[in-house]
Amino acid sequence: MPLSNRGQNDHDFTARMDHNVKEAWDLGYTGKGVVVTILDDGLERTHPDISPNYDERASYDVNDRDSDPMPRYEFSDENRHGTRCAGEVAAIFNNSLCIVGIAYNARIGGIRMLDGDVTDAVEAASVGHNADYIDIYRN
């Protein structure tokens, strides 16, 4: 949903169905000082809406066991959910691209864990990654 939805005709939005975050921003709540990690199919850390807030310490690829959470893109082009979630949370403010995140000053990381078998061990490794550093885990 857009920040200020007036029932635009080019989308199927109902007027005034907004995120209602402007008031929180006006009070200074922008995510500053908060680290959020998205547990999903990866995070496109180079995306221009995300890269300024990307936090390597809050990221890991559990599926490939390396530090790069980039999604595995194939012909089906289905591994985009984690990047979209990250944008909703922490896309930077006022760069004329895509959207602005609800917590646009938050640091954002990604745990790539849903692009393979999801076992108890995968889930434990995901939510246990740098737990003393990450404030919020989200999918």
Interatomic CA distance for residues 19 and 43, integer angstroms: 23
For the stretch 35-53, pLDDT in tens is 999 999 999 999 999 999 9
Residue 119 has a CB neighbour count (10 Å cut-off) of 10
For the stretch 67-117, pLDDT in tens is 999 998 776 666 788 999 999 999 999 888 878 899 999 999 999 999 889
> Has residue 65 got a pLDDT over 80?
yes
Long-range Cβ pairs for the range 75-81 (8 Å, 24+)? 78/41, 79/41, 79/42, 79/115, 80/41, 80/44, 81/40, 81/41, 81/114
As assigned by CATH, the class of the 31-138 domain is alpha beta
CB 37 within 8 Å of CB 111: yes
Looking at the chain, the domain(s) classified CATH 3.40.50.200 span 31-138
Structure tokens that stand for 97 in this block:
């691209």
Stretch 123-132: mean pLDDT: 96
Residue 80 has a pLDDT of 82
CB 112 within 8 Å of CB 64: yes
Q: CB-based burial of residue 129 (10 Å sphere; 0-12 exposed, 13-18 middle, 19+ buried)?
A: buried
